[in-house]
Structure formats: C-alpha cells, structure tokens
Amino acid sequence: MERLFVVKVGGAIVEDEAQLTQLLNDFAAIPGKKVLVHGGGRKATKVAALLGIESQMVNGRRITDAPMLEVVTMVYGGLVNKQLVARLQAIGVNALGLTGADMHVVQSHRRPLKDGIDYGFVGDVDLVDGKRLATLIESGITPVMAPLTYDGNGCLLNTNADTIASETAKALAPYYDVTLIFSFEKKGVLAQPDNDDSVIPVITREDFIRYQADGTISGGMIPKIENALSAIDQGVQQVIITLATAIDGHHGTVIKK
C-alpha cells in the first residue's frame, strides 16, 4: 500500500512562530499523502482570558462548559485551523480544514462523569470515517483536522488532539501504510526529563509498563503513548514521538508492539 503520514502538532508549537514555520515547511516537504492534526489549547486559554472566561483544568484536561465550548470552537475550528490552512496553501500544500462535523468525519459522544468529574462538552471518539478521508486524500487534498468532534445531533465537542490523530491513523490504516507522528517541543520520550538528549529510541508495551512503574514516563506522556500503542495494535505501521522540527521519520522515539 501507498505510504501516508499523519502528523499531530501540539498547541505549544502552534504558539511558537519559529518552530511552527519550520514544522509547516517540513510537513510540506514530506513526499506523498499526508494529514495534519493540530491542537491549540494555549491559544484557547489566552482568548478565554481576554473574554473573562476562566479556564479550568483537571489532570491536564480542560473542563469545557458552554462558554468555553464557544471559545474552543472559535479558536480551534476558526483561528488556528484557518491560519494553518492558509499558510500551507502558501507553500504549495492543497489543504482543507476540517472539524469532526464536516462530512461527518469524526463522531463522538459526550464524556460521562469520570471519577466524579463532569468534563462538560468533551467528546470521546466513536468513529472516524476513513473512507471519506481517503476519498479527499486521493483527490489531492491534505486534511487539516481541528480538535473538535460532534455527537451526530448538532453538538460540537472538544476532543483531545492526540486521540483524534491516533483514531484518524487507525481509520486510514486499511487504505494506506500509515506512519503516525506526534510532534512536540522535545526530541522524543526522555529517560531524564532535564536532559533533552536522553531520548529513548524505542519503546515497546513492556517497556512502557516498566517506565510507568519507575516514574520515567508520567503525566501527559502516558496518554500519548497509550494512544500510540492503540494505533499500533489496530494496523498503524509506525508511531514516532519527536521534535516538531524533526518530522522526517528518522528522529525521536519509535513506539513498537
């Protein structure tokens, strides 16, 4: 099968002009077919503050009440998404911005109470329509996917961008040889948090269990690797966690079974 890259870029990179410019140029240089999935949480927090809306976080996850849902819809689906699309078009990538509601491409359900916490309008993904995405891709379009899904009944839901990237990669695995890249501000998964050069080159499921137990891997890296392993289990050929300016498939941490 033909190779395809799904690249996820986090909100911290979106906010850093130099890193974002480099990432977009590198993304444009990836040969063949590709998909970009983006975050934007830092921008949403800034815009919410300007509007007098308090951001509430629990274990790194955003509580999304009705006012915050309006903010993330404006920021993720509008400001960030369309700026990325415009910049990609300027460097020769025929990009199309999508939320989950567009073409019914990502459907989710509202997250139920979890450990007694009501996350509000947060969506957990039920399905990604890989066939429709593949149809777009085969017509020469590069999807740029915002971290917004919908419930099939007219309600948009705030959804973790790593999850959207992982679920999108899985949905496209029947059609392509998929490499999923999580790009962020570090060179990869680090053995020593204060040493940027202590990149762990390969992590298997057994390694992950061990690294969690001894505290090497913690915090937000845990769900990122869980998403990576889930993608591998469901047909994605390779998952790489790497620096935003090193998305060539040859750097960072490779996640394997």
Cα–Cα distances (Å) from 158 to 61, 77, 142, 147, in that order, read 10, 10, 22, 6
pLDDT at residue 227, as a whole number: 85
Cα–Cα distances (Å) from 123 to 74, 82, 199, in that order, read 17, 22, 32
Residues 6+ apart with CB under 8 A from 142: 33, 34, 35, 36, 88, 93, 94, 95, 96
pLDDT at residue 51, as a whole number: 95
Q: What is the pTM of this model?
A: 0.94
Query: How do the pLDDT tens digits run along the chain, 257 residues long?
Result: 899 999 999 878 888 899 999 999 999 999 999 999 999 989 999 999 999 999 988 877 889 999 999 999 999 999 999 999 999 999 999 999 999 999 999 999 999 988 889 999 999 999 999 999 999 999 999 999 999 999 999 999 999 999 999 999 999 999 999 999 999 888 999 999 889 899 999 999 999 999 999 999 988 888 889 989 999 999 999 999 998 878 887 789 999 88
Q: Which amino acid appears at position 63 of this protein?
A: I
221-233 helix and 161-172 helix, angle to the nearest 10 degrees: 10
Question: Tokens for 17?
Answer: 């002009």
Contact between 10 and 39 under an 8 Å Cβ cutoff? The reply is yes
Residue 53 β-bridge partners: none
- What is the rounded distance in angstroms from the CA atom of residue 10 to the CA atom of residue 8? 7
pLDDT at residue 87, as a whole number: 98
